[in-house]
Amino acid sequence: MGITEYSTEQYTKYLANIRLRSIGLEPLYTDKKYSKSPYTHLERFSDTKKEAHTKANFFEASVTSYVMSSGVSGWDEI
């Protein structure tokens, strides 16, 4: 489950195939092992906009998951 040299290579080739498809080209790596991310268990932590393809540094991304409360009143008197 960790990050290894093999899984890093697999992930790099997986991403290359995704990028190639996104610009209308055929995948370069045709082996079935490059059709799925070896890091699916880690990707959910980096999806900052819940779009499954948008990745950003946590500290550089805008927070979109907070909701402003409208049910609290009387804070002005405190």
**Nearest-angstrom CA–CA distance, 28 and 59:** 33
Distances (CA, A) of 58 to 7, 19, 41, 54: 23, 22, 17, 12
Separation between Cα atoms, residue 19 and residue 29, nearest integer Å: 12
pTM over 0.75: no
**Residue 44, Cα to own-chain centre: how many angstroms?**
6
Q: Express each pLDDT in 8-61 by its tens digit.
A: 999 999 999 999 999 999 999 999 888 888 887 776 666 555 555 555 565 665
d(CA 69, CA 37): 38
pLDDT at 40: 79
- Report the residue count for the chain: 78
